[in-house]
Structure 1
Amino acid sequence: MSRPRCERCVRPLTHCLCALIPRLDCRHRVLLLQHPSESTHALNTARLAALGLANVQLAVGEVFAELQSWLATSDYRPVLLFPGEGALPLDTLAADDSGTPLLLVVPDATWRKARKLLYLNPVLDRLPKVTLRGGGVSRYRVRKAPAAEALSTIEAVAQGLNELEGSDRFDALLRPFEALIEGQIAAMGAETFARNHGGG
């Protein structure tokens, strides 16, 4: 028998995160494209990001039939948060002369599946690509990441909005994420965490 869950954060009621989730306004808009495999993941950080922001859209799928219409807006300049060759530093766009805010498109998937999203939705690959400032270390301590600076989706969104809007106020998005991680560590036990993730 499954445990009762919160309808909003979909966590078990005994571990509801809603009290920690902020509601933050932002000038720029965020479009989260979540691979279906991430939507049922216990650590669903894209959902936490979507709950914490006012100007956000979360879509789940592999092929997004409405993507072209979502991107075709004169109110925002769409860019894809995807590091690699030719990607521009995101914070350099904050000083753009046009004054038009960005539509920050963020794939929520493993690297392999994120590349598949770009392949299945070619319009994404045609967007200007942007990357975050380097040097950050992920707080996602219960995940085996390819590199220390490989961020979770909610960390990438928070850092990106901080870079664009010149403040640290989007750090508040990370409060439920950090509680989620601490809960996972407590559930596995300190010894198991230390053995599998190098914690101590």
Structure 2
Amino acid sequence: MSRPRCERCLRPLTHCLCALIPRLESRHRVLLLQHPSESSHALNTARLAALGLVNAQLSVGEVFTQLPQWLAAPGYRPVLLFPGDGALPLHTLAADDSDTPLLLVVPDATWRKARKLLYLNPLLDALPKVTLRGGGVSRYRVRKAPASDALSTIEAVAQGLNALEGNDRFDALLKPFEALIDGQIAAMGVETFARNHGGG
């Protein structure tokens, strides 16, 4: 028998994170496109990001038929958060209030599946691409990452909005994420965590 779950954060009721999830206003809008394989992931940080932002939307799928309408939302300029040739550092687009705010489109998937999302949705691949400033270290301590600066989706969203709107005002997004990581470490035991992930 499965444990009762919170209908909002989808965590077991005994580990509900809703009390830690903020409701942050942002000038720029975030559109999270989640591959179905991520929606059942234990951490599901894209959902936490969407719950924590007033001006955000989460959609799960591989082919997004509503993408043309989403990208044409009046008052926003769409860009894709995805590294690659020609991608602009996001902080260089931080603009004053007279400029059109961004619609920051964020794929939530492994790198291989994110590339598949772009292939299956040519409108995504055609968007101007932006990247985050390098040098950050992920707090995702229970994941085997390809590099120390490989961020989870919620970390990428928080860092991206901080780059655009400044003052680290979106760091509060990370509170439920950090609690989730701490819970995972406690469940596996400190010794197992240290052995498998180099923690102490």
Return the alpha-carbon distance in structure 2 between the equivalents of residues 74 and 64 of structure 1.
Answer: 19
Which residue is equivalent to 2:34?
34
Cα distance between partner residues in 1 of 2:96 and 2:176 = 32
Which amino acid in structure 2 is aligned with residue 189 of structure 1?
G
**What do the CA deviations read for 1:25-55 (whole angstroms, capped 9, x no partner)?**
0000000000000000001000000000000
Stretches of 4+ aligned residues off by more than 4 angstroms: none
Secondary structure in 2 matching 1:174: helix
Shift, 1:166, TM fit: 1.3
In percent, how many aligned pairs have the same letter?
87
Q: How does 1:75-154 map to 2 (within 5 A)?
A: 75-95=75-95, 99-154=99-154
Alignment-derived partner of residue 190 in structure 1: 190
Deviates more, 1:110-119 or 1:95-104: 95-104
Instruction: Show the counterpart of 2:45.
Output: 45
- C-alpha displacement at 1:103, in angstroms? 0.0
Q: Relative to structure 1, is the Cα distance of residues 118 and 96 closer, same or farther in structure 2, using a 3 angstrom cutoff?
A: farther
Stretches of structure 1 lacking an aligned partner (at least 5 in a row): none
Looking at structure 2, the residues matched to 176 and 60 of structure 1 have their Cα atoms a distance apart, in angstroms, of 21
Q: Provide the C-alpha distance between the structure 1 equivalents of 2:194 and 2:152, rounded to a whole number of angstroms.
A: 20
- How far apart, in 1, do the equivalents of 2:95 and 2:38 lie? 33
CA distance in 1: counterparts of 2:112 and 2:32, whole angstroms: 17
Aligned partners of 2:30 and 2:2: how far apart in 1? 33
Aligned amino acid, residue 66 of structure 2: E
Give the TM-score normalised by structure 2. Answer: 0.98
Structure 1 SS opposite 2:171: helix
Between the aligned partners of 1:23 and 1:43, the Cα distance in structure 2 is 19
Q: Distance in 2 between matches of 1:69 and 1:14?
A: 39
Q: Which residue of 2 aligns with 1:164?
A: 164
1:132-179 CA-to-partner distances (Å, cap 9, x unmatched) read 011100000000000000000000000000000012110000000000
Residues paired across the two proteins, number: 200
Unpaired segments of 5 or more residues in structure 2?
none
**Other-structure match for 2:56:** 56
Output the CA distance in 1 between the equivalents of 2:6 and 2:95. 41
Determine helix, strand or coil for the equivalent of 1:103: strand
Q: CA deviation at 1:98?
A: 6.0
CA distance in 2, matches of 1:39, 1:74: 28
Distance of aligned partners of 1:184 and 1:97 in 2 relative to their CA distance in 1, 3 Å threshold: closer
CA-based RMSD of the aligned residues comes to: 1.1
1:69 corresponds to 2:72: no
- Scaled by the length of structure 1, what TM-score is found? 0.98
| 1:124 alignment partner, SS class | helix
